[in-house]
């Protein structure tokens, strides 16, 4: 009986050792042999040309920006004397103080209906009195000297 016990214990020990070896063998990482990576192919350097600078704004675009600012200044003036000073500065941008200002009230199929024509001086006085600039510049014409000779406005 003692021999059976030893044999049984020995078989169990072998079994435990065998299972342990298999378990340890299975836990090892399956890393492949590290192979050196091939050197990357040389990259051709293409010199990128910088994008062209944005085109300079035209004289009309510059005039529109200045006039929009001037109109807002006149409309937003806190006192009549400041508004009058802004009006005089703005009138210097026009060929004369009787430059026509046309306000489009309706357009359909390319045909425009205008409000009663006015002059730039009257329009600036209107801005001063109402303290509201409800129009934006839709068309502008400059004379040979770069001064505004005609102005067309639309409702915002």
Mean pLDDT of 105-133: 94
**What percent of the chain has a predicted confidence (pLDDT) above 90?**
58
Q: What is the pLDDT of residue 47?
A: 74
Residue 126, pLDDT above cutoff 60:
yes
Fold of 59-155: Nuclear Transport Factor 2; Chain: A, (3.10.450)
- Yes or no: say if 72 and 90 are a contact pair by the CB < 8 Å rule: no
Supply 1's token pair: 């009986």
Q: What is the pLDDT of residue 133?
A: 94
Instruction: Kindly list the domain boundaries of the chain, sorted by start residue.
Output: 59-155
| 63 vs 151: CA distance, rounded Å | 11
pTM tops 0.75: no
Residue 56, pLDDT above cutoff 80:
yes
């Amino acid at each position: 009986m003692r021999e059976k016990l030893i044999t049984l214990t020995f078989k169990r020990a072998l079994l435990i050792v065998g299972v342990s070896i298999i378990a340890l063998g299975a836990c090892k990482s399956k890393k492949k042999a590290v192979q050196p990576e091939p050197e990357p192919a040389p990259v051709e350097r293409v010199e990128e040309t910088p994008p062209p600078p944005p085109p300079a704004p035209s004289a009309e675009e510059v005039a529109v920006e200045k006039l929009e600012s001037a109109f807002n200044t006149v409309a937003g003036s806190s006192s009549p004397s400041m508004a009058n000073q802004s009006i005089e500065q703005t009138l210097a941008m026009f060929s004369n103080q009787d430059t026509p200002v046309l306000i489009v009230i309706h357009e359909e199929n390319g045909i425009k209906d205008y409000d009663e024509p006015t002059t730039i001086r009257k329009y600036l006085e209107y801005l001063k009195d109402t303290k509201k600039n409800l129009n934006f510049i839709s068309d502008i014409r400059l004379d040979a000297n770069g001064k505004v000779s005609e102005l067309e406005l639309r409702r915002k």
